[in-house]
Amino acid sequence: MTFGPLTDEQVELRELVRTLAADKIAPRAAEVDASGEFPWDVVQVLRDHDILALPFEERYGGLGMGALMTVVAIEEISKACATTGLILSMQDLSTIAVRLHGTDEQKERYLPRIASGEWLGAYALTEPGAGSDVAALTTTARREGDAYVLDGSKRFITNAGVAGLYTVFAKTDPATGHRGISCFLVEADTPGLEVGRLEPKMGIKGSTTGEVFLTGCRVPAGNLVGGEGEGFRIAMRVLDRSRPGIGAQALGVAQGATDYALEYAKSRETFGRPIAEHQMIQAMLADMETKCEAGRGLLYRVALMIDAGIDGAELTKASAMAKLFCSDTAMEVTTDAVQILGGYGYMKEYPVERMMRDAKITQIYEGSNQVQRLVIAREMLRESRAFLLAGVS
């Protein structure tokens, strides 16, 4: 018997995803990492089992399972392969803008193709000089008749080169800073959109990360999401809802490393007994498990908030906390897992070495953890807690 926010139906779905990850995804994880090739065969597994449909409403071909089951599925998949967990996370992230602010025509045209996995999605916000400082982006979009013409470049774009649809942020009014940012849906075969260098990375090697160039890229005016100048607000609302996906990826990596280290400790013997019986190892395992469970509590809470329609400062803070804690946990736990395996943990033959490398990026993308701490502190400073000082002179 388990205790938690999941219904019996959701627990059953989690078990199905867990089994799929163990049987179909885990056997490919090391090979995907070694080759650095995008795993189209694994994408097909996700398509065949409707995993990519989880976040989307039924009217658009989805399963309508919401944020909670999406993060649960990302976690289970990421236990086996962080690259594959990111594929599901990106299908969610890349479409949040249109799901929140898109027209009915935009939703009907694009969401079914993403939900089915016919197209993969990408989120093109970051630029060479604009990462955490979104207002510094320099990509422009000027109106010409019934279209916008986009010019600029994007950097560190997940799914670059494999995506069918890019959600692109550009300035329609460069003179007004963040107030001049707008959001556009750009199909991959649009003339003027080109993919540049794909980055060789420390981890999540099977996921493409690359440059996207926009040169006279003509996009129909009907592909503007929201109104002109609403892009910054849209981007921030998207990040509030997408950071839990990265938290789930991080949590999956952490739990996968914990599970592997536990089984290894049960079978590896020193001084005539399994190392799991040594108190120092037990203490490490206990801390690893506790951190994972604490992260899961934060993660599930923010997912339930999203499903309940909560918006604004409360969601921003909860989302930042979940992403921060889960990703820091992933780095700490995978490092401890390598330590428990000793010399074997440092070898590519064992998965904790890969997990440790995969964990690092979760502290960086979707807003670095330094930025998450700033966000959390900013929201704290806006809260009124004067009642705690009652009676203090």
- Per-residue model confidence as pLDDT tens digits over 56-67: 999 999 999 999
- Per-residue model confidence as pLDDT tens digits over 104-145: 999 999 999 999 999 999 999 999 998 888 889 999 999 999
Residues 236 and 225 in one domain: no
**Are 61 and 241 contacting, i.e. CB atoms less than 8 angstroms apart?**
no
Q: How many helices (H) and strands (E) does the chain have?
A: 11, 10
Residues 145 and 213 in one domain: yes
pTM (predicted TM-score): 0.95
Q: CA-CA distances (angstroms) from residue 59 to 56, 114, 120, 259?
A: 8, 13, 19, 38
Residues 264 and 326 in one domain: yes
Residues 189 and 317 in one domain: no
Counting the structural domains of the chain, the total is 3
- Per-residue model confidence as pLDDT tens digits over 135-160: 899 999 999 999 999 999 999 999 99
Residues 127 and 56 in one domain: no
Residues 256 and 306 in one domain: yes
With tokens 């892009």, the residue in question is 231
Q: At residue 264, does pLDDT exceed 70?
A: yes
Residues 251 and 324 in one domain: yes
Domain boundary among 212, 229, 246: 229
Q: At residue 228, does pLDDT exceed 60?
A: yes
> Would 389 be classed as within a structural domain?
no
> CA angle at residue 135 from 309 to 150, to 5 degrees?
95
d(CA 256, CA 240): 25
Q: Which domain holds residue 33?
A: 8-115
> Would 388 be classed as within a structural domain?
no
> Would 186 be classed as within a structural domain?
yes
Residues 376 and 237 in one domain: yes
> Would 391 be classed as within a structural domain?
no
Domain boundary among 229, 249, 269: 229
- Per-residue model confidence as pLDDT tens digits over 9-44: 999 999 999 999 999 999 999 999 999 999 999 999
The answer to whether 366 is a known catalytic residue is yes
Q: What is the CATH number of the domain that holds 220?
A: 2.40.110.10
Domain boundary among 54, 87, 115: 115
Q: Which of 75, 127, 211, 366 is catalytic?
A: 366
> Would 128 be classed as within a structural domain?
yes
